[in-house]
Copies of this chain bind each other. A is one copy, B any other.
């Protein structure tokens, strides 16, 4: 009944390691969108204290992106997926690197957040294909 409120996102998915079986790249994407929004706010704000707060929070949000992607890589994706998508290991590895020191943790540049979002979108595309195949 209450399902209709969520109509556009019928496939509920995410994450713990019981496993509950619920996985969703949206978790990583939401954090990456947050990083992009943080970058924008910092670009429009000259208060040095605000920049420090942004750095603290961007560090946390980037770490969450890494953790959500690692969970997908280890807990959701199985050997047949890696066989069918030979680029998948490299893709997740690059995406997690992009959420680290050489990526969003180390930069306030919005374009870096965009690169991260693009990688997450690629992972999400594969994720959605594997969901439909199962």
Contacts and interface: CB of A to CB of B under 8 A. Distances in A.
Given A9-B9, A27-B27, A66-B74, A57 B18 contact: yes
A73 B30 CA distance: 18
Interface of A is mostly: helix
B55 A49 contact: yes
Contacts of A101: 17-19, 75
Interface string A33-51: 1110110010000000111
Interface of A: 1-3, 5-6, 8-9, 12-22, 24, 26-27, 29-31, 33-35, 37-38, 41, 49-57, 59-61, 63, 66, 70, 73-75, 77, 82, 89-90, 93, 96-97, 100-101, 105-106, 108, 117-118, 121-122, 124-125, 128
